[in-house]
Chain A
Amino acid sequence: MRTNNIFNHKKLMFLFLIGSIGFTGCKKFLDINQNPNNPDSADPSLLLPTVQAADGQIVGNAFQVLGNIYAEYWTQSPSASQYKVVEQYVQANSYYDRVWNTIYRNALVNAQLIINNKGAGLEYTKGMAYVLKAYTYQVATDAFGDIPLTQALQGNAYGSPKYDTQQAVYDSVFNYIDKGIALLNTKTSVSPGNQDLIFKGDVSKWIAFANTLKLRAYLRISYKDAAKAKAGIAALYQTNPTFVAQDAAIQYSTVGGNENPFYNEMVGLGKTQNVVASGTAVLALKSNNDPRLRKLYNKVPSDNTPAGDTIAYILQGTYQQNPTKKVSFPTPLVAGDANDPASATVPVKLISLSESYFLQAEAVARGFAVGDATALFKSGVTTSFTATGLTAADANTYLASAPDANIAGAVSLEDKIKIIITQKYYAMNGLQGFEAWTEYRRTGYPTFLVVSKASLLGAGLMPQRFIYPNSEVTTNLSYPGTVPVTTPLWWDTTN
Chain B
Amino acid sequence: MKHKLLRIFMVCFFCSASMAFAQNKTITGTVTAREDGLPIPGATVKLQGTTTGAQTNANGKYSLSVPAGSKLAFSFIGYTTQIITVGAQTTIDVTLVSDAKALSEVVVTANAIVREKRSLGYSAPTVKADELTEGGSASAISALTGRVAGVNITSTSASPGSSSRIVLRGGSSISGNNQALMVVDGLPIDNSSITGGADSRSSVDFGNRGNDINPDDIASITVLKGPAAAALYGSRASNGALIITTKSGKKNTEKTSINFNSQNTFSSILKLPDLQNEYGQGYYDDPTANPVTYINDPRENGSWGAPFTGVVQPWGQEIDGVQQTKAYSAVKNNLKDFFTTGYAADNNLSFSGGSDKSTFFLGLNALNSNGILPGNSDSYNKYGVRFNGNTDFSNKFSAGISINYSNVSNSQAAGGQNASSVYNNLLQTPRDIPISQLQDLTNKYNGYGYTDANGIAHPNSYGYYGAYVLNPYFVLQNFKNLSNVNRVTGNVNLGYKPLNWLNITERIGVDNISDRRRFITPKYNFVPADTESGNYSAADRQTNVGAYQIDQYNITEFVHDLMVTASHKFNEDFQGSFMVGNNIRQRGTSTTQTSTNTSGGLVVPGWYNLANSNGPVNVITDNISKRRLVGLYADLNLSYKSLIFLEGTARNDWSSTLPVQNNSFFYPSVSGSFVFSELLKSTSLANVLSYGKLRSSWAQVGNDTDPYQLLSTFARTTINGSFGSTTFPFGSVPALQAGTTIGNINLKPEKTSSFEIGTELGFFNNRISADFSYYKNKSKNQILTIPIPNSTGYGFALINAGELQNKGVEVSLRGTVVKTENFSWDLFATYTKNNSEVISLLPGIDQISLGGFGGMGIVAAVGKPYGEFYAVTNQKDSQGRTVINPNTGLPVATSSAQYLGSYNPNYQASFGTSVKFKQLSLNVLFDTKQGGKLYSRTKDITGFNGTSAETGGPRFGVPFPNSSYLKDGVYVPNTDVTYVKQDLYTGGVNPGVDIIDASYVKLRSAALSYTFTKSQLRGTPFGALTIGLYGNNLFLWTSKENKFVDPEVNSSGAGNAQGFDFSSQPSVRNYGIDLKVSF
* Residues of chain A at the chain B interface (Cβ within 8 Å): 12, 15-16, 19-20, 23, 26-27, 29-43, 46-50, 53-54, 56-57, 61-62, 77, 79-81, 84-85, 88, 90-94, 98, 100-102, 104-106, 108-110, 112-113, 147-148, 152-156, 158-161, 194-195, 197, 253, 255-259, 261, 264-273, 276, 301, 303, 320-321, 323-324, 326-327, 329, 339, 456-459, 461, 469-477, 479, 481-482
Given A40-B712, A50-B737, A270-B542, A26 and B630 contact (CB-CB distance below 8 Å): yes
Which residues of chain B come closer than 8 Å to A34, judged between CB atoms? 708
A62 to B722, CA, bound (A): 8
A152 to B419, CA, bound (A): 37
Which residues of chain B come closer than 8 Å to A19, judged between CB atoms? 560, 582, 584, 630
Instruction: Find A39's partner among B285, B299, B713, B731 (CB 8 Å cutoff).
Output: B713
Question: Which chain B residue lies CB-closest to A41?
Answer: B714
Which residues of chain A come closer than 8 Å to B474, judged between CB atoms? none
Evaluate contact between A265 and B724: CB separation under 8 angstroms. yes
Q: How far is the CB of B976 from chain A (nearest CB, A)?
A: 15
Q: How far is the CB of B330 from chain A (nearest CB, A)?
A: 22
A23 to B896, CA, bound (A): 55
Evaluate contact between A324 and B790: CB separation under 8 angstroms. no
Evaluate contact between B467 and A79: CB separation under 8 angstroms. yes
Instruction: Find A264's partner among B726, B742, B790, B793 (CB 8 Å cutoff).
Output: B726
A481 to B624, CA, bound (A): 42
Which residues of chain A come closer than 8 Å to B871, judged between CB atoms? 470, 474
B707 in the interface, Cβ–Cβ < 8 Å?
yes
Taken residue by residue from 782 to 799, chain B's Cβ proximity to chain A (1 for < 8 Å, 0 otherwise) reads as 000001111111110101
Which residues of chain B come closer than 8 Å to A154, judged between CB atoms? 792-793
Instruction: Find B726's partner among A33, A258, A475 (CB 8 Å cutoff).
Output: A258
Evaluate contact between B707 and A255: CB separation under 8 angstroms. no
Instruction: Find B657's partner among A33, A46, A323 (CB 8 Å cutoff).
Output: A33
Given A39-B736, A110-B737, A268-B599, A257 and B726 contact (CB-CB distance below 8 Å): yes
Given A105-B795, A110-B737, A261 and B728 contact (CB-CB distance below 8 Å): no
Evaluate contact between A324 and B534: CB separation under 8 angstroms. yes
Task: Supply 12 A–B pairs (Cβ within 8 Å), ascending by A.
Answer: A20-B582, A29-B656, A33-B710, A38-B739, A40-B714, A42-B736, A106-B717, A195-B733, A197-B733, A303-B538, A474-B859, A477-B847
Which residues of chain B come closer than 8 Å to A474, judged between CB atoms? 787, 849, 852, 857, 859, 870-871, 897
B99 in the interface, Cβ–Cβ < 8 Å?
no
Evaluate contact between A94 and B854: CB separation under 8 angstroms. yes
Given A30-B655, A53-B717, A323 and B297 contact (CB-CB distance below 8 Å): yes
Which residues of chain B come closer than 8 Å to A461, judged between CB atoms? 887
Instruction: Find A98's partner among B284, B542, B721 (CB 8 Å cutoff).
Output: B721
Which residues of chain A come closer than 8 Å to B539, judged between CB atoms? 77, 79-80, 273, 276, 326-327, 329
Evaluate contact between A258 and B893: CB separation under 8 angstroms. no
Q: How far is the CB of A71 from chain B (nearest CB, A)?
A: 20
Question: Which chain A residue lies CB-closest to B847?
Answer: A477
Evaluate contact between A270 and B735: CB separation under 8 angstroms. no
Taken residue by residue from 889 to 932, chain B's Cβ proximity to chain A (1 for < 8 Å, 0 otherwise) reads as 01001011100000000000000000000000000000000000
Evaluate contact between A258 and B792: CB separation under 8 angstroms. no
Given A32-B627, A303-B538, A477-B847, A56 and B558 contact (CB-CB distance below 8 Å): no
- List which B874-888 residues lie within 8 A (CB) of chain A: 885, 887-888
Apart from A30-B656, A105-B790, what are 7 other A-B pairs with CB-CB below 8 Å? Answer: A80-B468, A104-B793, A256-B615, A267-B599, A268-B723, A473-B872, A479-B896
Evaluate contact between A35 and B713: CB separation under 8 angstroms. yes
Which residues of chain A come closer than 8 Å to B739, judged between CB atoms? 38
Instruction: Find B893's partner among A329, A469, A482 (CB 8 Å cutoff).
Output: A482
B283 in the interface, Cβ–Cβ < 8 Å?
yes
Which residues of chain A come closer than 8 Å to B558, judged between CB atoms? 12, 16
Which residues of chain B come closer than 8 Å to A476, judged between CB atoms? 789, 791
Q: How far is the CB of A73 from chain B (nearest CB, A)?
A: 18
Instruction: Find A90's partner among B295, B712, B988 (CB 8 Å cutoff).
Output: B988
Which residues of chain B come closer than 8 Å to A20, judged between CB atoms? 560, 562, 582, 584
Which residues of chain A come closer than 8 Å to B990, judged between CB atoms? 92
Which residues of chain B come closer than 8 Å to A156, judged between CB atoms? 742, 788, 792, 797, 799
Evaluate contact between A155 and B742: CB separation under 8 angstroms. yes
Evaluate contact between A159 and B788: CB separation under 8 angstroms. yes
A266 to B721, CA, bound (A): 10
Evaluate contact between B735 and A323: CB separation under 8 angstroms. no
Which residues of chain A come closer than 8 Å to B313, judged between CB atoms? none
Q: How far is the CB of A232 from chain B (nearest CB, A)?
A: 27
Instruction: Find B888's partner among A105, A457, A469 (CB 8 Å cutoff).
Output: A457
A105 to B723, CA, bound (A): 18
Instruction: Find B719's partner among A16, A48, A102, A113 (CB 8 Å cutoff).
Output: A102
Instruction: Find A31's partner among B656, B896, B986 (CB 8 Å cutoff).
Output: B656
Evaluate contact between B721 and A261: CB separation under 8 angstroms. yes
Evaluate contact between A161 and B791: CB separation under 8 angstroms. yes
Evaluate contact between A159 and B792: CB separation under 8 angstroms. yes
A259 to B736, CA, bound (A): 19
Which residues of chain B come closer than 8 Å to A265, judged between CB atoms? 721-724
Given A53-B730, A458-B888, A153 and B792 contact (CB-CB distance below 8 Å): yes
Which residues of chain B come closer than 8 Å to A98, judged between CB atoms? 720-722
Q: How many A-B pairs with Cβ below 8 Å?
A: 355
B314 in the interface, Cβ–Cβ < 8 Å?
no
A195 to B890, CA, bound (A): 50
A339 to B535, CA, bound (A): 21
Which residues of chain B come closer than 8 Å to A320, judged between CB atoms? 283-285, 295
A430 to B847, CA, bound (A): 43
Evaluate contact between A456 and B888: CB separation under 8 angstroms. yes
A474 to B870, CA, bound (A): 7
Which residues of chain B come closer than 8 Å to A46, judged between CB atoms? 734-736
Evaluate contact between B721 and A258: CB separation under 8 angstroms. no
Evaluate contact between A108 and B468: CB separation under 8 angstroms. no
Counting chain A CB atoms within 10 Å of each CB, the highest count among B560, B656, B791 belongs to B791
Which residues of chain A come closer than 8 Å to B727, judged between CB atoms? 256-258
Evaluate contact between B857 and A91: CB separation under 8 angstroms. no
Taken residue by residue from 512 to 554, chain B's Cβ proximity to chain A (1 for < 8 Å, 0 otherwise) reads as 0000000000000100000100111111111111000000000
The 10 closest A-B pairs by CB, nearest first: A458-B887, A268-B723, A474-B857, A109-B793, A257-B727, A256-B600, A256-B615, A264-B724, A256-B597, A94-B855
Taken residue by residue from 846 to 858, chain B's Cβ proximity to chain A (1 for < 8 Å, 0 otherwise) reads as 1111001011010
A363 to B857, CA, bound (A): 47
Q: How far is the CB of B852 from chain A (nearest CB, A)?
A: 6
Instruction: Find A101's partner among B537, B600, B790, B890 (CB 8 Å cutoff).
Output: B790
Taken residue by residue from 592 to 627, chain B's Cβ proximity to chain A (1 for < 8 Å, 0 otherwise) reads as 000001111100000000000011101000111111
Which residues of chain A come closer than 8 Å to B857, judged between CB atoms? 470, 473-475
Q: How far is the CB of B850 from chain A (nearest CB, A)?
A: 10
Evaluate contact between A152 and B719: CB separation under 8 angstroms. no
Instruction: Find B720's partner among A94, A102, A258 (CB 8 Å cutoff).
Output: A102
Which residues of chain A come closer than 8 Å to B274, judged between CB atoms? none
Given A80-B468, A154-B793, A471-B790, A272 and B543 contact (CB-CB distance below 8 Å): yes
Which residues of chain B come closer than 8 Å to A108, judged between CB atoms? 793
Q: How far is the CB of B161 from chain A (nearest CB, A)?
A: 30
A110 to B297, CA, bound (A): 48
Given A54-B719, A85-B988, A257-B726, A301 and B890 contact (CB-CB distance below 8 Å): no
A339 to B545, CA, bound (A): 11
Which residues of chain A come closer than 8 Å to B794, judged between CB atoms? 105, 109, 155
- List which B539-577 residues lie within 8 A (CB) of chain A: 539-545, 558, 560, 562
Given A49-B728, A85-B987, A321-B285, A475 and B736 contact (CB-CB distance below 8 Å): no
Evaluate contact between A158 and B738: CB separation under 8 angstroms. no
- List which B688-736 residues lie within 8 A (CB) of chain A: 707-708, 710-715, 717, 719-728, 730-736
A43 to B598, CA, bound (A): 27
Instruction: Find B896's partner among A32, A104, A473 (CB 8 Å cutoff).
Output: A473
Instruction: Find B872's partner among A195, A266, A482 (CB 8 Å cutoff).
Output: A482
A94 to B989, CA, bound (A): 12
